[in-house]
Each structure stands twice: as C-alpha cells, then as structure tokens.
Amino acid sequence: MNIKKRYKQYKAWQLNAFDWSYDENEHHYCVNCENEFVGNHCPHCSQKAGMGKVSWKSVLQSSAEVWGMHNRSLLYSLWQLIWRPGYFISDYINGKRQVSFPPVKMLVIMGVISVVVDYIFKAPDITEEVIKEDSPLLDQYFQWVEASPGWGWLSIVCFFIIPTFCIYRYAPCNTKHSLPQGFFIQVFMSIQVLIVDDLADFFSSYFYIMVPLCYLYAYRQLFGYGFWGNLWRGLLMLISSAMFAILAISITELLTTGPSFADRFLFIMCCAVLATVSMLAGMLISKSLARLKEKREKSKISPTS
C-alpha cells in the first residue's frame, strides 16, 4: 500500500474510528440465551454475535483483555486520545460513549501510574525540590498536585473551562457546547497534560512546550476552525486561562499570608483585566465573524432576494 492511500485511511479513521454497521440479512444464534437475532450483540443478554466454543483465539483474546485490548479499552482510548484527540473528545461529549474508556476513571488510573513511574525513575533530589511558596495553603496544594497528579492536573486545567466555553461558543463544530461538555473536554485534556508531564519528568522540561501544542491540535479537530482561526483563539484561550490561574493563586496568597493587599492591588487588577478582556475579545470577534459568515452564506443561497 502506498503512503497516500495509508494517509487517506488514517484520515478516515481519525474522523470515524468505529464502524458499527452490520448486515441486516445475517441472522445470529445466541449460544448464551438461545435467542435468534440480527445485529452485533444479542438484545436479550448482550453477548457479542459470533461467539462460539472456547478456542485458541479465545485464549489470546482473554489474555489480551487483561491489558485492555478490546474496543473500549484504556489503551485504545489513549491511542485515540493521541492520534485523533479532538474527534475522539467530540464523539464522547456528543453521546458516543461506547468509543471510550470512562474518562474520569482513565484520568485517575493514569495519575496512579504516573506516581508509580515517578517513584521508580525520579532521582530523589528532584522530589525535594518543591517550590517554596509564601503561603502554606499553596504549598500544600502543590504538594497535593505532586502526590495525586490525576486530580491535580484536572484541578489546574479546570481554569480552561470558562475561557473555552466563551471563546469557542460560535465555532463551526460543537457550537455552543455546554459547561458539562466543557468539563469532560478538560478531563480528556488533563490526561494528555499528564502524559506530557510524565515525559517532561522523564526526559527534559522542554517537553512542557507540548501542552499548548496538544491544546491547539485537539481544539482544531474539536471545534473545526482553520489553522489561523484556531491559532489565535487558542492563544487567547491559553492567555486568559493562565491569567485566571495566576489570579486565583495571588488571591489565595493574599488571603493566607504574604504581602498586603495594597502591594498586590495593581498586579491583581492587571491579571483580572487581561483574563477578562482576552476572553471577551475572543468571544465577541468570533461572534461577529460567525454572523458575517452566516450572512454571506444566506446571500449565496438566495442572491435575488
């Protein structure tokens, strides 16, 4: 097979990884409950069609299942999250639940794995190098993130929910996504961030540059903007989220210990203004661009009226 054909196949898989179609004329007999049916699964007991006596193939299959090699497996979900992240997330948040391992569970498991990997491979001097914050509360928080990176990263990327919700409201795909959908988008994204975090721990902290790239790649597939449209919205979203996070950190610092309010007033105001302005600017520009496009399409359909 030549490269072009392979690429085409890969593209098709990216858009739609699962084929649930079946032959309507093919009747199956369920060995489990003795029911006759049409389709991929028995409607009475949900056993898969075509299951027969245990064979050598079943030996292989059931051994592979331990490691999660079947359809809804952890590994296949991770594989999809790397190679078709936006489409995969889009499938899930729009109700195609059978395509993925339960995402929050996946995040927690990946978090546990990451702790174990850290424990085995990390040099002991790095773990002691925790940033000393002024505030004991923040100190505790960062220690908690380090101890349970799954929940930790999720709590950090939750700052992305509102900016994403606003800036991508008028996107061509997943238009006006809801906040619960936004939450699950960030659950999937934090799994990616967690993987990047592991790579950074393992190789070099330069790997953190992959975090914005992951977001840009996934959002491009998820919301369907072109290259530049995706780039500027992505950057605004990242700036706005980062500002909200810094804002939350500074306010926590103020409320617990650290400098007086007067010292930090200007800084906090700057963060708040920058966070809000970049978010609202992204949203309003996207809105007017979407309106403009709509008008243009309408005039194309009925040029006489």
Q: Which residues bind Zn ion (CB under 5 A)?
A: 30, 32-33, 35, 42, 44-45, 47
Q: Tell the smallest beta-carbon distance from residue 46 to Zn ion (Å).
A: 7
Q: Tell the smallest beta-carbon distance from residue 20 to Zn ion (Å).
A: 18
Q: Tell the smallest beta-carbon distance from residue 39 to Zn ion (Å).
A: 11
- At residue 28, the 3 state secondary structure works out as strand
- When the beta carbons of 30 and 154 are compared against Zn ion, the nearer one is 30
Tokens 């989220």 map to which residue? 241
Consecutive H or E run containing 62: helix 56-66
- When the beta carbons of 30 and 191 are compared against Zn ion, the nearer one is 30
Q: Tell the smallest beta-carbon distance from residue 70 to Zn ion (Å).
A: 19
Q: Decide the pairing of beta strands 36-38 and 27-29.
A: antiparallel
- When the beta carbons of 29 and 83 are compared against Zn ion, the nearer one is 29
What is the Cα Rg of the chain in Å? 24
Could you give phi then psi for residue 134, rounded to 5 degrees?
-70, -40
- When the beta carbons of 47 and 135 are compared against Zn ion, the nearer one is 47
Q: Which of 118, 220, 108 lies closest to 153 in space, CA to CA? A: 108
- When the beta carbons of 45 and 273 are compared against Zn ion, the nearer one is 45
Q: Tell the smallest beta-carbon distance from residue 44 to Zn ion (Å).
A: 4
Q: Tell the smallest beta-carbon distance from residue 216 to Zn ion (Å).
A: 46
Q: Tell the smallest beta-carbon distance from residue 35 to Zn ion (Å).
A: 5
Sequence length of the chain is: 305
Going from the C-alpha of 29 to that of each of 34, 53, 149, the distances in angstroms are: 6, 13, 47
Residue 39, phi-psi category: left (phi > 0), alpha (psi -120 to 50), beta (remainder): left
Which DSSP category does 175 fall into?
Answer: T
In angstroms, rounded to a whole number, what is the distance separating the alpha carbons of residues 258 and 134?
A: 6
In angstroms, rounded to a whole number, what is the distance separating the alpha carbons of residues 243 and 305?
A: 47
Which DSSP category does 70 fall into?
Answer: S
- When the beta carbons of 42 and 154 are compared against Zn ion, the nearer one is 42
